[in-house]
């Protein structure tokens, strides 16, 4: 159960690569909310959950320890290499975000892959990322603004990562595309027949 098969590694890497390009596009969307940040600075956290998605998608599909961290790290390193706007900080974020998702599933010894644990993964990734961003990107903010940022991060992690990621994997599994993986066996076409 715990050892990676070749197909698990290939898919985990592919998830990381695909999300690196999603991240580059999402970085542009992120800059579009800049005017809102002038009015409500903590709102910068409302879109953060998308950055935690590769970790959650990978662990929900392959269900192996380390899948979340590997996918998130690949996405972060490739985003940085392709000229992402946050440079090496992207890699630090990747480790923290992947680690947060791993922690949620470690709590169940990688045995429960339910929506509440997917949401918890997003929340833990958000909390770890908040600690990093609070002191690296926003040290001048008041604690009231910092707590507001945490609230936006947590909601975004739960919804944009947890809920969206869980339903994305369920939808992929229902097509039969994940038949070689635990998620496909649990949620795929044949499991409903």
Whats the size of the chain, residue-wise? Answer: 193
- Match 């992929």 to its residue by tokens: 172
Q: Has residue 83 been placed in a domain?
A: yes
With H, G, I as helix, E, B as strand and everything else as coil, classify residue 165.
helix
Please give the Cα distance from 91 to 20 (Å, whole number). 12
**HSE-CB of 12 using CA atoms within 13 angstroms:** 25
Burial of 193 (0-12, 13-18, 19+ CB in 10 A): exposed
Give the pLDDT of the chain (193 residues) as one tens digit per residue. 468 899 999 999 999 999 999 998 888 887 777 777 778 889 888 999 999 999 999 999 999 999 999 999 999 999 999 988 888 999 999 999 999 999 999 999 999 999 999 999 999 999 999 999 999 999 999 999 999 999 999 999 999 999 999 999 999 999 999 989 989 888 876 554 4
What are the φ/ψ torsions at residue 177 (nearest 5 degrees)? -70, -20
Do the domain assignments include residue 179?
yes
Domain contains 1: no
**63: domain CATH number?**
1.10.1760
Can you give the pLDDT at residue 4?
A: 87
The span from the CA of 82 to the CA of 76, in Å, is: 10
Q: How far is CA 85 from CA 19, 24, 41, in A?
A: 15, 8, 19
| pLDDT value for 193 | 41
> How many structural domains comprise the chain?
1
pTM of the entire predicted model: 0.91
Give the structural domain span for 68.
6-192
Give dist(CA 130, CA 138) in Å, integer: 10
């Amino acid at each position: 159960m715990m050892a990676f098969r070749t197909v698990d590694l290939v898919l985990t890497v592919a998830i990381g690569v695909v999300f690196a390009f999603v991240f580059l596009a999402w970085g542009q969307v992120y800059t579009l909310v800049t005017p809102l940040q002038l009015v409500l600075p903590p709102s910068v956290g409302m879109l953060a959950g998308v950055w935690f998605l590769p970790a959650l998608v990978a662990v929900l599909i392959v269900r192996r320890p380390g899948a979340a961290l590997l996918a998130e790290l690949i996405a972060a390193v490739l985003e940085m290499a392709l000229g992402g706007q946050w440079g090496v900080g992207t890699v630090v974020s990747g480790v923290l975000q992947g680690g947060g998702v791993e922690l949620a599933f470690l709590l169940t010894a990688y045995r429960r892959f339910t929506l509440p644990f997917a949401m918890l993964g997003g929340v833990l990734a958000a909390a770890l990322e908040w600690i990093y961003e609070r002191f690296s990107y926003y040290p001048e903010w008041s604690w009231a603004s910092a707590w507001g940022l945490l609230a936006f991060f947590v909601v975004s992690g739960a919804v944009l990562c947890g809920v969206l990621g869980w339903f994305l994997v369920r939808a992929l599994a229902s097509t039969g595309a994940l038949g070689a993986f635990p998620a496909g066996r649990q949620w795929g076409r044949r499991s409903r027949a």
